[in-house]
């Protein structure tokens, strides 16, 4: 089970004395969706956002925390563990002054696909497969434009090496989840900046609602959030059309709500 959340709490008696607590919760060490993927992404996202909004996110205003449960828990175990971790979370967030918190869940739009659909993988003359592929449709999610975010992914690999002595594989550097962590952070920073002057009178729900029913443009890909706060994901639907078996770009794009695969 994937549970990586960013919890942000503001204490703003007035804007000049704003305090922001940013808490990342990472449940488990899975190399593709646990600590190894998420922690460097959070570091790089924070660094980039602090550069972009230096008057808001800086060492005087921000205190950062991580709640990290280690190991490789199964999905049900990880879910149970969250109940225990909620104590750790509230210890960090709710032990002092008034303020409000907003919860940003990381929602990777990529749906994992299994198997290898490469046409004519082993056989240059696979007539049976050729005919079969005519009735095959492929549903994909749009990936980030990796070449456009190479600075972000290589920064994550650097941080991973420097801070945790972990060398990220190529697959780990092309991790949809890490980019989704970055996007969640970016969305939070954008809305924080945008509503900065009004924070004094905002509630957590009020702050969260500023993310709803909007699209945030990002270098990575657009972040669409629906009217109830869920991320909307596009899918690309394509099929093999041409007589020679090559997959053509006869694709259609849909917007789709995320299905939590872990619940299936
Ligand atoms: C802010 O803190 C980070 C580490 O937490 C440090 O690397 C950086 O130099 C600090 N910046 C300033 C301006 O003190
Ligand atoms: C949660 O809090 C308990 C009690 O303070 C502590 O023993 C445990 O290590 C904490 N767990 C994490 C993941 O921070
Ligand atoms: C899929 O096929 C390609 C090309 O033959 C190969 O390089 C790749 O390792 C295969 N992937 C898997 C998961 O089998
Ligand atoms: C490919 O297989 C088909 C059916 O088995 C056969 O008729 C055809 O000659 C083969 N083509 C080549 C280039 O081997
Ligand atoms: C970093 O990891 C490598 C390989 O896993 C290990 O050989 C090396 O001792 C580690 N370095 C440090 C400073 O922990
Ligand atoms: C931050 O918000 C202010 C006020 O809405 C806006 O003028 C400014 O362009 C924003 N900064 C960034 C980097 O988006
Ligand atoms: C917050 O609400 C109080 C009371 O209504 C008002 O006096 C104050 O100007 C508001 N602050 C901002 C930043 O809107
Ligand atoms: C969402 O935004 C659209 C246009 O931006 C607006 O017409 C619609 O009423 C909004 N829906 C909700 C539930 O806020």
- 75-90 pLDDT, tens digit per residue, is 788 888 888 888 888 8
Percent of the chain at pLDDT above 90?
25
Which atom of ligand 3 approaches the CA of 116 most closely?
A: 1
On whether the CB atoms of residues 211 and 225 are closer than 8 A, the answer is yes
- Residue 4: what pLDDT? 55
Structural domain span for residue 226: 20-73+145-230
- Residue 7: what pLDDT? 65
Residue 86 lies in a domain: no
Residue 128 lies in a domain: no
Residue 226 lies in a domain: yes
For ligand 3, is residue 118 a contact (CB within 6 Å)?
Answer: yes
- pLDDT band per the 50, 70, 90 thresholds, residue 258: very low
Query: From atom 13 of ligand 7, which residue's Cα is the shortest distance away?
Result: 198
Residue 215 lies in a domain: yes
pLDDT digits (tens, 9 = 90+) for 35-84: 888 999 999 999 999 999 999 999 988 989 999 988 888 878 888 888 88
Residue 98 lies in a domain: no
- Ligand 5 centroid to 235 CA: how many Å? 41
Query: From atom 3 of ligand 2, which residue's Cα is the shortest distance away?
Result: 88
- Residue 239: what pLDDT? 59
Residue 262 pLDDT greater than 50, yes or no: no
Residue 209 lies in a domain: yes
Give how many domains the chain has, as a whole number.
1
Query: From atom 8 of ligand 2, which residue's Cα is the shortest distance away?
Result: 88
Residue 164 lies in a domain: yes
Query: From atom 8 of ligand 3, which residue's Cα is the shortest distance away?
Result: 116
Residue 144 pLDDT greater than 50, yes or no: yes
Closest CA to 109 of 31, 226, 223, 263: 223
Helix, strand, coil percentages, rounded to 5, for the chain: 40, 25, 35
- pLDDT band per the 50, 70, 90 thresholds, residue 256: very low
For ligand 6, is residue 198 a contact (CB within 6 Å)?
Answer: no
- Ligand 4 centroid to 98 CA: how many Å? 76
pLDDT digits (tens, 9 = 90+) for 173-185: 988 889 989 999 9
Residue 25 pLDDT greater than 60, yes or no: yes
Residue 119 lies in a domain: no
* DSSP character at residue 91: H
Please give the average per-residue pLDDT across 88-105, as a whole number: 76
Query: From atom 8 of ligand 8, which residue's Cα is the shortest distance away?
Result: 213
The two tokens of residue 165 are 């002595």
CATH number at 156 reads 3.40.50.2300
- Ligand 8 centroid to 73 CA: how many Å? 40
Other CB atoms within a 10 A radius of the CB of residue 221 amount to 21
């Amino acid at each position: 089970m994937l549970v990586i959340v960013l919890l942000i709490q503001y204490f703003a008696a007035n804007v000049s004395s704003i305090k922001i607590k940013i808490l990342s919760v990472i449940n488990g060490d899975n190399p593709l969706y646990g600590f190894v993927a998420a922690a460097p992404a959070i570091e790089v996202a924070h660094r980039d956002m602090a550069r972009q909004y230096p008057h808001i996110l800086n060492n005087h205003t921000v205190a950062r925390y991580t709640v990290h449960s280690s190991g490789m828990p199964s999905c049900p175990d990880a879910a149970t563990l969250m109940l225990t971790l909620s104590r750790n979370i509230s210890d960090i967030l709710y032990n002092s002054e008034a303020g409000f918190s907003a919860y940003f869940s990381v929602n990777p739009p990529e749906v994992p696909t299994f198997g290898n659909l490469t046409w004519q993988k082993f056989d240059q003359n696979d007539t049976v497969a050729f005919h079969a592929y005519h009735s095959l449709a492929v549903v994909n999610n749009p990936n980030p434009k990796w070449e456009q975010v190479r600075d972000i992914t290589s920064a994550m690999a650097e941080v991973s090496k420097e801070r945790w002595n972990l060398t990220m594989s190529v697959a780990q550097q092309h991790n949809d989840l890490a980019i989704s962590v970055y996007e969640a952070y970016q969305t939070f920073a954008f809305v924080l900046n945008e509503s900065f002057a009004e924070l004094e009178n905002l509630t957590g729900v009020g702050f969260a609602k500023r993310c709803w029913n909007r699209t945030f443009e990002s270098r990575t890909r657009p972040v669409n959030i629906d009217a109830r706060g869920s991320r909307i994901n596009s899918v690309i639907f394509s099929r093999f059309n041409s007589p020679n078996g090559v997959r053509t770009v006869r694709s259609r794009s849909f917007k789709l709500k995320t299905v939590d695969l872990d619940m299936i």
